[in-house]
Structure 1
């Protein structure tokens, strides 16, 4: 019996068919360094830019200064381009720029932003990272949302070419470290202080986003929040620990107008949130195209032993499982917005493990749009959460403080060469990545 292949071979040749390069057997497999096109998966790094105060306001921890970025910003931004990355989580020093209501110092910001634009890097602009200007005091100040909103508008007007923003970085961590754990800024250790900081930061993010959207209606908002979980190893779980596992969602609940569980609502009411404030948050989501950023460090995931001792579990669940819980709750596109380890020798394996987590979630149909190794260069004193100024170098960067590549930089370059041109979501070439203003507020 004659095979159909005989006729195909006679008519069209033996494979390598004309037209097959357009998504067929000879189509592109996604290898190659990122293109920077809108449908490209967003491979990123970030420049550590935290600036909380410690010692009850007497000491400012400015990581851009302590890691010498102010002097070496051109070199640092050049390293981003040299790696082949097109996307950068970048934080301007809010506490230095907004010097008083209506008064701004843009000197460094203008220099850095001009260099980012010149290099063709897409910034995800981080507008508040763990601290506020001295004149605003701290996160207990109810004027924060209004003053920060004005700052956001000025940024959007000054850099109209920027589309991606993280208005307030890690709201839950900001509020917890500042007002519940007593480490930064107001250094309170109270539930009321925590709720106050939480609602002020969430309101600041919402009002800031509205001001950005006025000038950039197609803005993409990457909400960056810590993905956390506590495994309580007790036969009978305690309400306090279980409440903690619900409170981790609260910042995103407030941002995305998602009603929290009843015990969380009671906790908010018991600790200073009014019914009017709660209703204000639940009125609707902020404008723009929303991406849920989930930060994951092995130290985010903890095990509580029967005796109450807490230890780091590294990655019992891992980023994919924890993030899947967040995705099921909010149904938002996802980005892995931060990760690292402090041991430079372990960093390459950690990078590959995070990538396995991303591939797993994408295979399950979760729209994971990007990945970030945080940060570009080593950090300082994060083993104590910046609580003490000791000058300990955390070897978690793609480059050390001398701007020499660490092992993880080579691993990341290898990852980029293998996967750098995959689409932002599977089959993403089919859809237009639109520059039109965001309009729809409901899912249908």
Structure 2
């Protein structure tokens, strides 16, 4: 029987931003996008809007820190309702199991020696409870971005910095991804795995790391989980220099897992980066040409069906419509050329709160970013009304055209 990710046509979906960083400390506020956008309270309305948009699938995340408030103790009271409503609406959910944050009880976050087994046990618990309702899983969203914020820049727990911090986090995250996929497959052999990465692009020379290293390290997590890192790998010497052992690399080769679908995230205004002489990153507008380049790079490397799992921009409805049309045209051209792009996701469906909110004291509205097909507009009652903009209607027409 054909899977939903066959190449017969292009499927359209949306995603609801679901970053969860519950840990706080002086100068660092809690960052829970569902709380800040009032999705916990208005989830039913949000899902109804997803269905109205014509989307066939939704990328939606489980808040691990709330679902498992104590080790091994699960509270399904909210997710049961959400799963049931998605089923009623006929929405396929690609479940984001890990969108950056760990529970507060997991001491030292990703550095905890039990992390890989804890995250795998949580993933298996979700998969077991919702088998037949939710069967599509992303074990961990954007591992390289996660490693940058948690391991290179020291912004999120466990607050590591530098090359060693980055590589430490990639290794830990990759092991968790492997164990999560293994454990889910054990409880649901029909599960589909959509591994999602943010593949950065670079323009010009880079510093302090050479561009050749950055071009390869964007693939590192996926290369590890698929068992591709051996003595011939372009980064092997660099990894060993920074503490990777032969035994660790052999573990990944012995335990290699294969995604069913590869999710590629691309934002035209900031996926492509230029660096100045001090190594400061500056976004570079790359448009549809950047999308093509990124998709081709991932397809050549992994030869898997591809879903554009995130794309959108901050701008006017007219600018969003223009990007929707340009990116759709580029995806269709890629399909004509034999690249199996089988899905397109406008992400986020609703506006989101900039991650920099975490490091500031200004009210949440000061950090609201207009990414969505549905805008969040605060009223006098302090509720965030859901207001469809003109791009919503164009997206709906586009999705319905491809569904016919």
Mean alpha-carbon deviation: is it higher for 242-251 or for 365-374? 242-251
Provide the residue aligned with 2:142 in structure 1: 170
Provide the residue aligned with 1:87 in structure 2: 57
Provide the residue aligned with 2:254 in structure 1: 283
| 8 Å Cα contact 1:340-1:347 kept in structure 2 | yes
Whether 2:176 is the aligned partner of 1:204: answer yes
Q: 1:419: how far off?
A: 2.3
Cα 1:321–1:400, aligned 2, differ >3 Å: closer, same or farther? same
| 8 Å Cα contact 2:23-2:104 kept in structure 1 | no
Provide the residue aligned with 1:381 in structure 2: 354
Whether 2:366 is the aligned partner of 1:397: answer no
2:167 and 2:279 map into 1 onto residues whose CA distance is 25
- What pairs up with 1:153-302 in 2 under 5 angstroms? 153-161=124-132, 162-233=134-205, 240-259=210-229, 262-286=233-257, 290-298=260-268, 299-302=270-273
Q: 1:380: how far off?
A: 0.8
TM-score (norm 1): 0.80
Provide the residue aligned with 1:51 in structure 2: 20
Q: What's the C-alpha RMSD, in Å, of the aligned pairs?
A: 2.3
Deviation by residue 1:52-76 (Cα, 9 ceiling, x = unmatched): 2565486320001100000001000
| 8 Å Cα contact 1:381-1:388 kept in structure 2 | no
Structure 1: which 5+ residue stretches go unaligned? 1-35, 422-444
Q: 1:389: how far off?
A: 5.7
Whether 2:119 is the aligned partner of 1:148: answer yes
1:104 and 1:123 map into 2 onto residues whose CA distance is 20
> Could you list the runs of 4 or more consecutive aligned residues of structure 1 that deviate by over 6 angstroms after TM superposition?
none
2:148 and 2:162 map into 1 onto residues whose CA distance is 9
Deviation by residue 1:187-236 (Cα, 9 ceiling, x = unmatched): 221222212211111111111111111122122111110021111258xx
Deviation by residue 1:274-323 (Cα, 9 ceiling, x = unmatched): 21111111225326x61110000120101235786643212164111112
Partner SS state of residue 257, structure 1: coil
2:127 and 2:320 map into 1 onto residues whose CA distance is 36
Structure 2: which 5+ residue stretches go unaligned? 377-384
Cα 1:174–1:396, aligned 2, differ >3 Å: closer, same or farther? same
| 8 Å Cα contact 1:56-1:187 kept in structure 2 | no
Aligned residues: 382
TM-score (norm 2): 0.88
Cα 1:118–1:320, aligned 2, differ >3 Å: closer, same or farther? same
